[in-house]
Amino acid sequence: MSIIVDILILAGALLAIVAVVQVAAARLVLPESTLLSAIGIAIGAGYVAIDAAHPDFARHFLHPLIDPALPPEAYLWIFLPPLLFHAALTADVRSMLPDAAPILLLAVVAVVVATGVIGVATAAASGMPLAVCLLLGAVVATTDPAAVIAIFRDVGAPARLIRLVEGESLLNDAAAIAIVGVLVAMLTGHGAQATLAAGLRELAWSFIGGVLCGVLAGRLVSDLLPRLAGLPMAESALTLALPYPLYLLAEQLLGVSGVVAVVCAGLMVSALGPTRLTPPNWRHLRMIWEQFAGIAGAVVFLLAAVRVPSMLAGVTRHHGWLLLALVIAALAARLVTLFGLLPLLSWLRLSAPINGAFKLAIAWGGLRGAVTLVLALGIAENTDLPYEARHFVAILATGFVLVSLLLNGTTLRGLIHRLGLDQLSPQDRALQQQAIRLSTEEVEAMLTRVADSFDLPPAAARDAAQKYRHGIELGSAEFDFDTALPERVRLTIGLVTLATRERELIPEYGEGVISVANLDAMMRNTTQMIDAAREQGRIGYNRAARHILDYHVGFRVALFLHRRLGIDRALARALADRFELLICRQTVLDRLRRYNRSMLTPVFGARMATVLDGVLEDRSRAAEEGLAEMRVKFGDYTVALERRLLMLFALRKGRLSLETMREEAVISKEAFNQIAQVIQQAWQANLVRPPLRGVTDNQSGPATPPGPQPSGRVLGAGPRDGRHDADPEHDQAGNADIDGREPGR
C-alpha cells in the first residue's frame, strides 16, 4: 500500500512541476523543454545532497526517478505512442500534401544522412568503431519539434515553415528508432540481423509493415467512430485506446515499426475524422488529446532529464572535444540535406522551392529532446553492449541534447528575427492593416453607444477610442488597401479564403444526412480548389470546383447495369450520392455567399466581393442545373430522396429544439429522454436510402447516359466558366479576369 501511495504522491508532484514550468516558460518566453531539462538536471544533481539531509524523502520520492525499476524501453512504450498519435492527429494532412516530398526527405533521408555523417566524423575524432559511432548518430538524429513549433507560432513564422517542421517530426522518430534497433542488433550479433544487408531488409520491412498496419488500424477506428451514437466521451475513449495496443502489436507480434504504425493510424484518423464526427465532437476529441499528450510529453522529458547527471558520470575534457565534433557534424549533416539534397526536389519539380531563410531556420531549429534521451538511456543500460560503447553513446548523446536545448533553443527566436521570418508578407500586412482599420471603426462606434447608454461624456469615449487606436499602432498612417494589393492578388486571397471556409462548413452535414463518401470527396475537392486558386487563380479554382460534378465511370457503369441487366442497387447508390452532393454543395454555397457579403465585403471591398459572389453564383447555378437534370430524368426517385432529406433535417431540428428546452429547464430530462428515443428511432429509419425499384417503374430513364456537353463543360456549368476554359489566356487580361466581363462590355 505504501508503494501505491508513494507513486500517487510522486505523480502529483510531477504534474505540479509541469504546471509551474508551463507558467514560467510563458512568462520568461523560453522553450518549455529547456526549463524542464534544467529542473530535471537540478533534481538529479541534488539527489546526493538531499539523500544526506532527508534520506526518507529521497528514498520515497527521488530514488524512483533516479533509479526506476522499469526497463529503459518502458519509457518508449508508455510515453511515445500517445505523443506520436497526437502529433499525427493534429497535423493538417491535406495542407501537407503539396510538401510531401520535402517532408519525407527531412523525416527519413535526413536521419540517414545525419547517422552517416555523424558516425564517420565521430569515428575519425574518437577512434571508436564505426558501428558504435553510427549508433550515436542514429540516437541524436531524431529531432524534437515541440519547442521549435511553439517559437515559430509565437513569432508569426510562415505557415509553410511550420508545416515542414511538423511533417518532419511525424516520421523522423520512426526512422531513428528503426536504425537504432538495426545497429544494436548488429553490435550484439543477434541472429540474422547481424549483417548489414539483413539489417537493411529488416529496416525496409519495418517501415512498410508499419505503414500497412497503421493505415488499416486508423481506417478501422475511423469507420467505428460514427457508430458510437455521437457520444463525445466514447469517441475520445476509442481513440485513446488505439495507440498502445497498436504499438505493442506492431512491435512485439508483427515485428514492424510500432512508431510508424501509430503515426500512420493518427494520420488516417486526422484525415477521416472530421467527416465522421460532428464539428463539436471533433473539437472535443482534439482538446482531450492536446491535454493528454501535453502532460505526457512534459512528464517524460522531466523523467529523462532527471537521469542526465547519472548518465554524465565519468565525463572528461576529451568528451568535451568529442561533443564539439558531434555538434559540428550534426549541423553539417543538416545543412547538407537542406542545401544539397532539398534543391534536387525543386529541380525534379517534386516540390516548390524553399528559400534559404527557411532552410537556416530549420537547420538551427533541430532541437533534440526526450526521445534522444530515452534512446541514450536504453543504450546505457543495455548490458549486451560493451561498456565502452554504452558509456560513449550515453555521454555524448546526453551532452548533445543539453547543447541543443541551451544553445539552439535560446537563440532560435533571435535567428528567426534576424532572418526576417517574423515579418508578415506584403499580402498579410495589407490584410492586417485593413482588418485593424475595420475593427477600430467598430470599436469607436461601440464606445460611442456605450457612452451614450451610460450617460458618459462623449469626450471620454473619444479619448478611449484614440488610446485604443494608438495602442494597436494603427495610427493615421497613409494606407490605401486598393493600391496595397493588386486585384489579382486580392482575388486569389478571396478564393482561397472561400475554399478554406467551405472546408470548415462541409463536416456540419454529417451524421448520415450526407454520406461519409460524399463528405470526403467534397473535402478533397476544397483542397484541390485551394491549390488551384494559388497556382492558377480563378481559372484553376473554377476548374477544380467543376471537376467533382463530372459523371464518373462508376455512374455510367451503374446506369448500364440498370438499363441492360435490370440491376438497380448500384444506380440507386450513385443517384443518391449525386443528389446528396448537389444538395450539400448548394446549401454550402448559399452560406458562403452570406459569408462573403457579411465578412469579406468589408475587408476586400464591394467590387471584389461582387466578383467573388459571381464565382459562387456560377457554382450554385451548376448545382441547381444538376438537380434539375435529375428531376427530369429520375423525377420520382429524386422526389423520394428530397422527402428523405427533408425528414432528416426536420428530425435534427426537432432534437435541437428539444435539447434547448431541456437546457433551459422548460421540460424535464425524463420528458426529453422519452421524446429523444422516438426521434432517434425515426432518424435511424430515415437514414436508409429509398430503393430505386418501384419508384422509377413508370419511368423509361434516359436514352443515353448523361454527360458533358459538346463544349467540354459538365452539364450545368455557368457561361462564364465555359468562356474561361475556352480562352485560357483570358486570365491575363487584367480586369477582364476580375469581373468576368470583357473590356467595354
Residue 716 cell numbers, joined: 450545368
- The mean of the pLDDT values for the chain is 80
Please tell me the predicted confidence (pLDDT) of residue 257: 85
Given pLDDT bands bounded at 50, 70 and 90, which one contains residue 348?
confident
- Provide the terminal-to-terminal Cα distance of the chain, rounded to the nearest Å: 87
Angle at 732 between CA 726 and CA 734, to 5 degrees: 120
Please tell me the predicted confidence (pLDDT) of residue 544: 92
Given pLDDT bands bounded at 50, 70 and 90, which one contains residue 215?
very high
Question: Which of 591, 587, 616, 559 lies closest to 740 in space, CA to CA?
Answer: 616
**If you search the block for the grid coordinates 448537389, which residue do you land on?**
582
Task: Answer whether 71's CB lies under 8 Å from 247's CB.
Answer: no
Cα–Cα distance, 123 to 231 (Å, whole number): 57
Cα–Cα distance, 612 to 601 (Å, whole number): 10
At a CB cut-off of 8 Å and minimum separation 6, what does 439 contact? none
The stretch 203-230 carries a mean pLDDT of 89
pLDDT at 534 over 60: yes
Cα–Cα distance, 200 to 183 (Å, whole number): 10
Task: Return left, alpha or beta for 158; rule: phi > 0 is left, psi -120 to 50 is alpha, else beta.
Answer: beta
Cα–Cα distance, 42 to 699 (Å, whole number): 82
Cα–Cα distance, 545 to 429 (Å, whole number): 29
**If you search the block for the grid coordinates 494589393, which residue do you land on?**
485
At a CB cut-off of 8 Å and minimum separation 6, what does 722 contact? 711, 712, 713
The stretch 226-243 carries a mean pLDDT of 90
3 state SS of 654: helix
CATH top-level class for 2-419? mainly alpha
Please tell me the predicted confidence (pLDDT) of residue 480: 60
Question: Which of 367, 371, 376 lies closest to 405 in space, CA to CA?
Answer: 367
Q: What is the 3-state secondary structure (H, E, C) of 425-441?
A: CHHHHHHHHHHHHHHHH
Of 107-116, 136-145, 215-224, 228-237, minimum mean pLDDT range? 136-145
Highest mean predicted confidence (pLDDT) among 282-286, 444-448, 458-462, 464-468: 282-286
The stretch 436-462 carries a mean pLDDT of 82
Cα–Cα distance, 522 to 544 (Å, whole number): 11
pLDDT at 478 over 70: no
Task: Answer whether 137's CB lies under 8 Å from 18's CB.
Answer: no
The stretch 504-514 carries a mean pLDDT of 83
Please tell me the predicted confidence (pLDDT) of residue 37: 77
Please tell me the predicted confidence (pLDDT) of residue 740: 36
Domain borders along the chain are: 2-419, 426-483, 486-634+701-716
| DSSP one-letter string for 152-176 | HHHTT--HHHHHHHHHHHHHHHHHH
Question: Which of 416, 338, 435 lies closest to 157 in space, CA to CA?
Answer: 416
Cα–Cα distance, 198 to 185 (Å, whole number): 10
What is the distance of C-alpha 513 from the center of its chain? 26
Please tell me the predicted confidence (pLDDT) of residue 137: 93
pLDDT at 710 over 60: no
Cα–Cα distance, 396 to 314 (Å, whole number): 12
Question: Which of 154, 133, 122 lies closest to 27 in space, CA to CA?
Answer: 154
Given pLDDT bands bounded at 50, 70 and 90, which one contains residue 498?
very high
Amino acid present at 604:
F
pLDDT > 70: percent of the chain: 84
Q: What is the pLDDT of residues 290-345, one digit of tens each?
A: 888 888 878 877 877 787 787 777 788 888 899 999 999 999 998 998 898 888 88
Residues in the chain: 745
Highest mean predicted confidence (pLDDT) among 73-77, 202-206, 630-634: 630-634
What is the distance of C-alpha 159 from the center of its chain? 12
At a CB cut-off of 8 Å and minimum separation 6, what does 741 contact? none
Please tell me the predicted confidence (pLDDT) of residue 743: 33
Please tell me the predicted confidence (pLDDT) of residue 717: 35
Please tell me the predicted confidence (pLDDT) of residue 695: 63
Q: What is the 3-state secondary structure (H, E, C) of 198-232?
A: HHHHHHHHHHHHHHHHHHHHHHHHHHHHHHCCCCH
Q: What is the pLDDT of residues 241-281, one digit of tens each?
A: 999 999 999 988 888 888 889 989 999 999 899 988 888 89
pLDDT > 90: percent of the chain: 21
Please tell me the predicted confidence (pLDDT) of residue 479: 56
Cα–Cα distance, 195 to 207 (Å, whole number): 18
Task: Answer whether 377's CB lies under 8 Å from 73's CB.
Answer: no
Q: What is the 3-state secondary structure (H, E, C) of 263-275?
A: HHHHHHHHHHHHH
pLDDT at 628 over 80: yes
Q: Hey, what's the torsion of the CAs at 585, 586, 590, 593, to 10 degrees?
A: 60
Angle at 341 between CA 340 and CA 346, to 5 degrees: 105
pLDDT at 519 over 70: yes
pTM of the predicted protein model: 0.75
The pair phi, psi for residue 487, each rounded to 5°, is -60, -40
pLDDT at 12 over 60: yes
Cα–Cα distance, 380 to 594 (Å, whole number): 63
Question: Which of 716, 509, 524, 491 lies closest to 609 in space, CA to CA?
Answer: 491
Segments in 54-129 forming alpha helices (H): 55-57, 63-66, 73-89, 93-96, 100-104, 110-126
**If you search the block for the grid coordinates 541472429, which residue do you land on?**
191
Residue 506 cell numbers, joined: 462541409
Cα–Cα distance, 506 to 483 (Å, whole number): 34
Cα–Cα distance, 116 to 282 (Å, whole number): 42
Cα–Cα distance, 231 to 280 (Å, whole number): 11
pLDDT at 655 over 70: yes
Highest mean predicted confidence (pLDDT) among 18-32, 222-236, 308-322: 222-236
Segments in 634-699 forming alpha helices (H): 635-663, 669-687
Question: Which of 34, 10, 57, 23 lies closest to 305 in space, CA to CA?
Answer: 34
Q: What is the pLDDT of residues 661-695, one digit of tens each?
A: 988 888 888 888 888 888 888 888 888 888 887 66
Task: Answer whether 450's CB lies under 8 Å from 461's CB.
Answer: yes
**Cα separation values, 514 from 276, 280, 504, 690, Å:** 10, 17, 15, 14
Cα–Cα distance, 617 to 622 (Å, whole number): 9
**Angle, in degrees to the nearest 10, between helices 159-188 and 196-224:** 130
**Is the model more confident about 469 or about 15?**
15
Cα–Cα distance, 40 to 34 (Å, whole number): 10
Please tell me the predicted confidence (pLDDT) of residue 199: 64
Cα–Cα distance, 402 to 395 (Å, whole number): 11
Residue 75 cell numbers, joined: 519509457
Highest mean predicted confidence (pLDDT) among 61-70, 96-105, 531-540: 531-540
Cα–Cα distance, 487 to 491 (Å, whole number): 6
pLDDT at 590 over 90: yes
Task: Answer whether 154's CB lies under 8 Å from 352's CB.
Answer: no
**If you search the block for the grid coordinates 550515436, which residue do you land on?**
136
Cα–Cα distance, 354 to 372 (Å, whole number): 28
Cα–Cα distance, 269 to 286 (Å, whole number): 11
Residue 336 cell numbers, joined: 547538407
Cα dihedral across residues 602, 605, 610, 612: positive or negative: negative
Please tell me the predicted confidence (pLDDT) of residue 68: 65
SS3 helix, strand, coil % of the chain, rounded to 5? 80, 0, 20
Please tell me the predicted confidence (pLDDT) of residue 3: 65
Cα–Cα distance, 595 to 592 (Å, whole number): 5
